[in-house]
Amino acid sequence: MTTTAAVGTELAIGGMTCASCAARIEKKLNRMEGVTATVNYATEKAKVTHGVDVSVQDLIETVEKTGYTAREPAPPEPAAPDGREPDELRSLRERLVTAVVLAVPVIAMAMIPALQFEYWQWLSLTLAAPVVTYAGWPFHKAAFTNARHGAATMDTLISVGTTAAFGWSLWALFLGTAGTPGMKHPFELTIARGDGTGNLYLEAAAGVTAFILAGRYFEARSKRKAGAALKALLELGAKDVTVLRADGGEQTVPVAELKAGDRFLVRPGEKIATDGVVVEGSSAVDASMLTGESVPVEVTPGASVTGATLNAGGRLVVEATRVGADTQLARMAELVEDAQNGKAAAQRLADRISGVFVPVVIALSLGTLGFWLGNGAGTAAAFTAAVAVLIIACPCALGLATPTALLVGTGRGAQLGILIKGPEVLESTRAVDTVVLDKTGTVTTGRMTLLAVHAAYGTDEAEVLRLAGALEHASEHPVARAVADGALEKVGALPTPEDFANVPGLGVQGVVEGHAVLVGRERLLGEWAIELPEELQLMKATAESAGRTVIAVAWDGEARAVLEVADAVKDTSREAITRLRALGLTPVLLTGDNRAVAESVAREVGIDADQVIAEVLPQDKVDVVKRLQAEGRSVAMVGDGVNDAAALTQADLGLAMGTGTDAAIEAGDLTLVRGDLRAAADAIRLARRTLGTIRSNLFWAFAYNVAALPLAAAGLLNPMLAGAAMAFSSVFVVGNSLRLRSFEAQS
């Protein structure tokens, strides 16, 4: 028995316009023998597992036969320094500009009688022709491709509707008076008497094209950013590294050239190039950019360190243990991509309905034409009824239903510090019943803060801050910075220490204004035979039980105080939790900190103790979200760190704090620019309101069509009235969307 080895291939797919396109390609690829494929519409990529007997070229040819393009992905191109758009977006924008510039006067002349001069019909035709042909070409091309494969989407509706409106207008202008007795030139009578010009629908053809093209352009811009979370993750790492050679020399090389076993130097303030083990030196490592947790990690020889974290203290020599795709950063990037592939892109409601609606309308139009011809009504009457069916079904209101509500809703959201990435996000907001809150940077400030000073009896608190703050001001350790900043805020300018020394892993010591000062762990004081008095021991124990970091202060051989340092809860977090509960959501606190810290924060903001999930590793946050979903919950996730990116993508709704990392922001569905957790409640309210508006728009857009289609088919609705009904439905949809401007954030 022969076993065929499996090969993994990634393809970049082009030409997809909706989620059904991805499903069609996926279905075709999976029909190939020995092929398993998943196609991601958001990232425009296909992940394929296949046997060695199936070549990459075979896969590409299968995709191309389906009507799309495929190629092996090229390395990501850097953004243009001048902010230029890529070619495909630039082409779409040029078509949009052309459509808007030419369609506006066409619509104006059709709607305002004062602008209808003697030859206005021919000017309208001249302006509308390039809109329907050149600007609308992407719709016609996609509709043709779909037709070849027996499918119908919104592109089919747009193409059929605009072509019918434009074609009928051509017939009315050129042939509408043919056969009139005594007419010498068909154009002459049309211009002189206006016969047939009442049945012009050039403004419908041009307007529909311009409106839908605008929505398609902004959709394309948003979709292009779908893979930015992965790019943001990978860009966190160091670009260059200083490698220590066997002869003792140093050489700076690109990180890609680093090999497992190499030893490299990490100076204070530099990023650690890759995962490894410390072989020399000791320091505090700031892992917040990767873990989202603000408390620094003390490392000494033998300690493991992670690539992309920041050396916030002393000089380190690290031996690389994992490089390239094996690093924790690379694995987190893979988690984000897996979460994206596992989360099916929401297909637009209009596309789902149009898959049935379009063929029905076309069949009804052809049936109407055949019925009236068979009953001897004459070619003109039959064609008029058939075109009326197509015109009333023209997707102007249908196409405006989503973009206008989204435009107004997102515009209002931007004013309130809420960014909604697209209409597919909105459907998730309706069902969510659980909101998972990352602690650090979301519920808390995300930075170490001096919370309290506990001075021994007879010791002045201001003097404690003055002496301890002066010594800590000379250190770059994050805890030291918190003490120094707190001292500066409360007592003002600080003296300059003398004989300053950093004691790795324990604290700092020096002379301040003639006093020998120690600031650090209790063990540092013990090395100088200084013991904390009972009152300070009690305060230290109480603070540590609440999850605070406690440091001791001593001078002149005597313990004087203990300082509480921690990540402070944001002032607005408790109110935000109350608002989220009012929306029917159950808040869950998720953190990598220990349970004592987590429960202390939960009590402070009003989260139940049984809804606290603590001591969660960064890579396990996705599993927590999956577990909650497996329990039948619909989960919203609020986070701000790189470690939250995969969980934000896995959640039914991801809300990224704008004060966080780019990776989290790009992975989220909603971005809260204000960095205020109360905005999460406002974002969900706004998203639900916008979704409700879209749904009501779609209902009325179809209601007009459904009500008028039988009248049109019966010959009781001529194309002019059909166009008027279509225009009214569009006005209604736009007016309904504009109501979102009145949305207000809760104060």
Please say if 438 is a catalytic residue.
yes
The torsion angles phi and psi of 715, rounded to 5 degrees, stand at 80, 15
| Element spanning 300, H or E | none
Residue 269 burial class via C-beta count within 10 angstroms: exposed 0-12, middle 13-18, buried 19 and up: exposed
Q: Are 26 and 46 in contact (CB under 8 A)?
A: yes
Provide the 8-state DSSP code for 42: T
The torsion angles phi and psi of 216, rounded to 5 degrees, stand at -65, -35
Q: CA 140 to CA 747: how far, in whole Å? A: 48
At a CB cut-off of 8 Å and minimum separation 6, what does 289 contact? 236, 308, 309, 310, 641, 642, 661
Sign of torsion, CA 115 116 119 125? positive
Catalytic one among 438, 593, 640, 682?
A: 438
The torsion angles phi and psi of 554, rounded to 5 degrees, stand at -140, 150
Q: CA 132 to CA 206: how far, in whole Å? A: 6
Q: CA 551 to CA 562: how far, in whole Å? A: 6
Q: Look at residue 519 and give its three-state secondary structure.
A: strand
Q: CA 708 to CA 388: how far, in whole Å? A: 9
Q: CA 649 to CA 182: how far, in whole Å? A: 72
Q: CA 462 to CA 587: how far, in whole Å? A: 40
Sign of torsion, CA 376 378 383 385? negative
Q: CA 337 to CA 47: how far, in whole Å? A: 11
Which of these, 95, 43, 27, lies nearest to 339 by C-alpha position?
43
Residue written as tokens 């060695």? 52
The torsion angles phi and psi of 310, rounded to 5 degrees, stand at -110, 130
Cα R_g (the chain), whole angstroms: 33
Beta bridge partners of 275: 322
For 127, half-sphere exposure in the C-beta direction (CA atoms, 13 angstrom radius) is 25
Q: How far apart are the first and last CA of the chain?
A: 71
Q: How far is CA 129 from CA 102, 122, 135, 156, 388, in A?
A: 9, 11, 9, 19, 21
Q: CA 115 to CA 248: how far, in whole Å? A: 85
Which of these, 453, 450, 485, lies nearest to 470 by C-alpha position?
485
Q: Are 395 and 161 in contact (CB under 8 A)?
A: yes
Q: CA 569 to CA 561: how far, in whole Å? A: 24
| Element spanning 265, H or E | strand 263-266
CA 331 to chain centre: 20
Residue written as tokens 């004459």? 378
In the chain, the amino acid numbered 617 is L
Q: Are 585 and 636 in contact (CB under 8 A)?
A: yes
Q: Are 165 and 157 in contact (CB under 8 A)?
A: no
Which of these, 195, 118, 204, lies nearest to 167 by C-alpha position?
204
The residues assigned a catalytic role are 438
